[in-house]
């Protein structure tokens, strides 16, 4: 009897201690989270401030709300406005997504469900390309695209996706498709489906989660891409959001933080929307494929 009450007492004390430590953890994690997000929140709030206030105050709330920064920022530079930058970026992103979905799923189906000679060699090659810094290919690619007269077009940014050059997605889909039971594939074949039909009617519909993850990451990476766009696009007409922001920074300099914050905020909104609606797929992509944001 005595032992059991003592034991209960210990359990109760440790439960209490656990509760206290949990409160501490909550407090710390919340505080640290606020510190982390403060720069972002401050930028969003500052985009509604008068420019002079951005420098003078650390306070969060604008003393007087204004959307002037948005109006001025949206007007862009030299007659090219952010409508065109956003539309251009969306075109590139959409086509990149289509390319990645088609080409990567085809390659992944071959690796995951088909038998052919040299498959393991090919798969090893695919894994090797994952590690390859793109700098060793970018110079000849630039020369090639220049030779084809594709500088100042979107081909260099889009076409590679139709050839599954982003091996991460192939890898992600292979992992996923391997989980589709072979019995299902065999049943489809007994029902008279050829390999192509199996891919289209069975594998693709069942792989939707992996396809969505690929879509999301292609969206984020293409939206955030800067190097490729900087390299291939110099015509203002074709400018993307990233290039528009950078040009804005160069031309207006430090004098225009207000409009710059306004446009920076707008440029992050699409990413944020994707994040809010597809968080589950994002987390899944990070944990299974090691894809980073």
Residue among 15, 226, 273, 277 that touches other proteins (CB under 8 A): 226
DSSP 41-104: HHHHHHTTS-HHHHHH---SS-SS---HHHHHHHT-BTTB-HHHHHHHHHHHHHHHHHHHHHHH
Report the alpha-carbon distance of residue 83 to residue 138 in Å, rounded.
30
CA 204 to chain centre: 22
> Between 119 and 138, how does the x/- string for binding to other proteins read (CB under 8 A)?
x--x--xx--x-xxxxxxxx
Q: What's the min distance (Å) between Cβ of 176 and other proteins? A: 16
- Residue closer to other proteins, measured from CB, 78 or 287: 287
- Residue closer to other proteins, measured from CB, 68 or 189: 189
Report the alpha-carbon distance of residue 194 to residue 59 in Å, rounded.
65
**How far apart, in Å, are the Cα atoms of 12 and each of 18, 19, 26, 122, 163?**
10, 11, 21, 59, 62
Q: CB–CB of 240/223 below 8 Å?
A: no
246 binds other proteins (CB under 8 A): yes
For other proteins, the binding residues in 148-207 under the rule CB under 8 A are: 160, 162-165, 170, 195-196, 199
Residue among 12, 15, 16, 22 that touches other proteins (CB under 8 A): 22
Binding residue count for other proteins, defined by CB under 8 A: 94
Three-class SS state of 226? coil
231 binds other proteins (CB under 8 A): yes
245 binds other proteins (CB under 8 A): yes
Report the alpha-carbon distance of residue 261 to residue 66 in Å, rounded.
13
293 binds other proteins (CB under 8 A): yes
3 binds other proteins (CB under 8 A): no
Residue among 74, 86, 142, 150 that touches other proteins (CB under 8 A): 142
Residue among 33, 61, 200, 277 that touches other proteins (CB under 8 A): 33
Tokens of 57: 């105050």
282 binds other proteins (CB under 8 A): yes
- Residue closer to other proteins, measured from CB, 133 or 181: 133
Q: What's the min distance (Å) between Cβ of 33 and other proteins? A: 5
DSSP 116-147: -TTHHHHHHHHHHHHH--THHHHHHHHHHHHH
> Between 39 and 58, how does the x/- string for binding to other proteins read (CB under 8 A)?
xx-xx----------xxxxx
């Amino acid at each position: 009897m005595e032992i059991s009450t003592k034991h209960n007492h210990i359990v109760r004390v440790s439960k209490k201690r656990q509760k206290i430590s949990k409160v501490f953890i909550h407090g710390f994690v919340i505080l640290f989270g606020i510190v982390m997000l403060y720069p972002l929140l401050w930028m969003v709030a500052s985009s509604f401030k008068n420019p002079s206030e951005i420098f003078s105050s650390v306070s969060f709330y604008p003393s007087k709300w204004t959307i002037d920064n948005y109006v001025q920022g949206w007007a862009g530079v030299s007659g090219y406005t952010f409508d065109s930058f956003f539309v251009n970026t969306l075109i590139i992103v959409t086509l990149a997504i289509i390319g990645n979905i088609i080409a990567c799923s085809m390659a992944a189906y071959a690796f995951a469900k088909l038998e052919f000679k040299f498959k393991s060699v090919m798969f090893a090659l695919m894994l090797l390309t994952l590690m390859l810094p793109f700098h060793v290919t970018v110079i000849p690619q630039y020369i090639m695209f220049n030779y084809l007269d594709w500088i100042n077009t979107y081909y260099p940014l889009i076409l590679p996706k139709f050839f599954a050059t982003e091996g991460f997605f192939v890898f992600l889909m292979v992992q996923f498709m391997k989980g589709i039971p072979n019995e299902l594939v065999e049943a489809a074949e007994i029902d008279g489906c050829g390999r192509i039909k199996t891919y289209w009617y069975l594998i693709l519909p069942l792989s939707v989660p992996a396809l969505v993850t690929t879509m999301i990451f292609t969206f984020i990476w293409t939206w955030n891409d800067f190097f490729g766009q900087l390299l291939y696009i110099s015509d203002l007409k074709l400018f993307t959001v990233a290039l528009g922001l950078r040009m804005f920074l160069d031309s207006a300099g430090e004098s225009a933080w207000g409009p710059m914050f306004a446009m920076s905020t707008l440029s992050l909104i699409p990413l944020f929307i994707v994040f809010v609606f597809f968080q589950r797929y994002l987390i899944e992509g990070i944990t299974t494929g090691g894809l980073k944001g």
